[in-house]
């Protein structure tokens, strides 16, 4: 693509969950239409999208037809099968590009990449068999987490091990999946940066937010994060470093551990990110619009934060509190239109606005 | 309706223009689906709605089927044929109610209603024939505007007359349409109040905005409006007066002339209003969500303004400036996805944010 997409163009989005839904709305706000590709039925994004293809990622014909109707393709999740990407990229540009997907689809590749940029990560070791795991547990000498290299999210595919855990049993539980062992990091808190890079190479990062997880699922993101000015600068610079190294176009979420020895990169996500939902009510241009601007070859938005925000995920039975939440004058509610409440299911989120300590606009 | 609509319920919206489009997005944000009824093809709201019925307001079967799929019906414009409303209300609740539509569909009825509440309007006279017009022009003794009683918007159906204008010619131009003559009001500026009334009778008004028109079309709305504290209070109280008198449920736009003798009501619109678009970036809950909350029997949002805003409509060739506008860090852009740019056509709007002089949150 060589020039900005015109109003009326169609954005193809792989994945019809809440992120695809909010991307669709942002695309509409800029005058674009959206076309969702999603294997599941009754997906949240379908309620607000112009077109919907319900098909499997192995359905080559459906992928081909989908790609022919759109002007650019993006995605709401990183675990898109390579074979599907091979079909799609013959027809339309995929943004962010495949290198970002290749790297973030595999925890080992991702850690190698981050270290190649001189960024710090948790200590890690590739685990192919029980002897390798035994050796790594010994070498780390502390509690550690065994993670599958691929397809993990929200804490799935992770198990905590001690130095004396049985490597045979742990490896057997992997059922043949490639894995890596990550040493624990002694961190005080987690922050994340939502960074964006335009097709013109411009980089713009939102203010880092501070995240609290529970059972592997994000509960809250609080702005501003507890960071010194130097840490804040570090967080933004390392995010720009990652974006530039990948010649990235779009929004990326970068999770960071704050430690006494500096910032440690936990993981990167080549897409809009749950920890960036606060931007919907804290910025003139939010992460969803920023992503659409980037992939449409439009100038990035400014992204300045104009107030303090606490974003809280509404998970499962949290929806029981919705009657109270909608009465709170400081709360902006965002629900995903999911029909059924299930434990651990993200049903929506709420952005609670507080006047900024220091006005930034 | 006796209890709040549940997430997943469907909001029926008559009209698929930009107001229907932004209502659909607001409905989705609260977890609702929307079903648009619109005679025109390729309407802006269809890009973000869950369902679309393309049919005429005289198509009784289509109206019936539409009503059967929705949990409540609302509208983006007041000139809905009475016969269509008769069909729809047999199946589903229409909000705001028909009394508000009946009154606002006819300029004469509207003025009579406002005066019956003790509110001031421009001097007016019903015009059924040339002698009546001649007498009214004489009686006013100033320039005046002859307006059709029904179906006028954006300055259409209006002609300016002088005391010595030819009543015969002016009445002939009406081609048999019922009309009224409005005397000019000596006002310094125009403001509007976007008011909301919940199903529980709660009233909540957004801060009045100051409007500038050109050729009968709104150009800008500026917050805060130039109003004294007493005028601001008057504006809100008279809006509440109107809402309560109609047992109204939903959002209403009330246009007011500011004069040395107080506020004069120009007109009311029983729907979300162009002059309320600033709320999208100036409030935690905007006019669109406020309207959906009201008609869904949810508690109204707070509506407090958290920053100063200038809303500018992007009309016709204004779209030529879009490349510059999207680079402005203080500008939030809202485009309607209309394919063709035409003179006088509302293509989008931009909310320019400035830190509030006095923080209200």
**Which residues 42-71 of B have a C-beta within 8 angstroms of A?**
46-50
The whole-angstrom separation of Cα A302 and Cα A300 is: 7
Q: Cβ contacts (< 8 Å) between A288 and chain B: which residues?
A: none
The whole-angstrom separation of Cα B143 and Cα B152 is: 20
Q: How confident is the model at residue A183 (pLDDT cuts 50, 70, 90)?
A: very high
Inspect the interface and report whether the beta carbons of A284 and B46 lie closer than 8 Å.
no
pLDDT of residue B360: 42
The whole-angstrom separation of Cα B142 and Cα B197 is: 38
Q: How confident is the model at residue A360 (pLDDT cuts 50, 70, 90)?
A: very low
Collapsed DSSP state (helix, strand, coil) of residue A268: strand
Q: Which letter, b or e, does each residue of B56-65 get, where b requires 16 or more Cβ atoms within 10 Å of its Cβ?
A: ebebeebbee
Strands (E) in B132-199, as ranges, are: 144-148, 158-161, 179-183, 189-197
pLDDT of residue A152: 66
pLDDT for B84 beyond 70: yes
Collapsed DSSP state (helix, strand, coil) of residue A121: strand
pLDDT for B359 beyond 50: no
Q: Among A126-130, B61-65, B295-299, whose mean pLDDT is lowest?
A: A126-130
Distances from the Cα of B117 to the Cα of A313, B96, B102, B266, angstroms: 47, 19, 16, 14
On whether any CB of chain B is under 8 Å from the CB of A118, the answer is no
Of B221, B271, B322, the closest CA to residue B94 belongs to: B271
On whether any CB of chain A is under 8 Å from the CB of B331, the answer is yes
Report pLDDT digits (tens) over A119-141: 999 999 999 999 999 999 999 99
Structure tokens at A259: 């430690």
Q: State the DSSP code for B206.
A: P
ipTM of this predicted structure: 0.91
Q: Cβ contacts (< 8 Å) between B298 and chain A: which residues?
A: 326
The whole-angstrom separation of Cα A360 and Cα A303 is: 11
pLDDT for A93 beyond 50: yes
On whether any CB of chain B is under 8 Å from the CB of A343, the answer is no
pTM (two decimals): 0.94
Distances from the Cα of A199 to the Cα of A196, A202, A213, B162, angstroms: 10, 7, 33, 59
Inspect the interface and report whether the beta carbons of A8 and B337 lie closer than 8 Å.
yes
pLDDT of residue B216: 85
| Averaged confidence pLDDT in chain B | 94
pLDDT of residue A87: 98
Q: How confident is the model at residue A151 (pLDDT cuts 50, 70, 90)?
A: confident
Mean pLDDT over residues A314-319, rounded? 96
Report pLDDT digits (tens) over A99-119: 999 999 999 999 999 999 999
Give me the residues paired with residue B194 across strands.
B253
pLDDT for B358 beyond 50: no
A with B: how many residue pairs have Cβ under 8 Å apart? Answer: 118
Out of A330, A335, A354, whose CB is closest to B29? A335
pLDDT for B31 beyond 60: yes
pLDDT for B80 beyond 80: yes
């Amino acid at each position: 693509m060589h020039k900005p997409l015109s109003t009326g163009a169609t954005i193809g989005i792989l994945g019809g969950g809440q992120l695809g839904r909010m991307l669709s709305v942002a695309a509409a706000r800029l005058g674009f239409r959206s076309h969702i590709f999603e294997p599941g039925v009754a997906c949240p994004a379908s309620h607000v999208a112009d077109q919907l293809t319900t098909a499997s990622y192995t359905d080559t014909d459906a992928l081909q037809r989908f790609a022919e109707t759109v002007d650019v393709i993006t995605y709401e999740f990183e675990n898109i099968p390579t074979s599907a990407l091979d079909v799609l990229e013959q027809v339309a540009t995929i943004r962010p590009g495949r290198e970002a997907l290749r790297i973030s689809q595999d925890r080992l590749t991702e850690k190698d990449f981050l270290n190649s940029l001189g960024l710090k990560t948790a200590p890690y070791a590739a685990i192919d068999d029980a002897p390798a795991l035994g050796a790594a547990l010994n070498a780390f000498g502390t509690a550690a987490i065994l993670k599958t290299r691929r397809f993990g999210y929200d804490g799935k595919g992770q198990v905590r091990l001690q130095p004396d855990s049985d490597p045979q049993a742990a490896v057997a539980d992997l059922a043949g999946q490639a894995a890596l062992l990550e040493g624990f990091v002694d961190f005080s808190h987690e922050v994340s940066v939502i960074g964006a890079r335009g097709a013109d190479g411009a980089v713009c990062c939102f203010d880092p937010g501070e995240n609290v997880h529970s059972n592997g699922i994000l509960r809250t993101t609080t702005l501003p994060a507890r960071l010194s000015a130097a840490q804040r600068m570090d967080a933004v610079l390392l995010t720009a470093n990652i974006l530039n190294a990948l010649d990235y176009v779009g929004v990326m979420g970068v999770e960071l551990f704050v430690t006494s020895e500096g910032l440690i990169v936990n993981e990167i996500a080549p897409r809009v990110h749950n920890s960036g939902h606060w931007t919907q009510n804290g910025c003139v241009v939010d992460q969803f619009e920023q992503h659409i601007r980037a992939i449409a070859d439009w100038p990035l938005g400014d992204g300045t934060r104009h107030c303090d925000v606490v974003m809280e995920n509404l998970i499962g039975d949290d929806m029981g509190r919705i009657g109270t939440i909608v009465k709170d004058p400081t709360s902006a509610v965002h629900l995903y239109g999911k029909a059924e409440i299930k434990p651990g299911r993200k049903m929506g989120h709420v952005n609670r606005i507080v006047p900024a300590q220091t006005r930034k606009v």
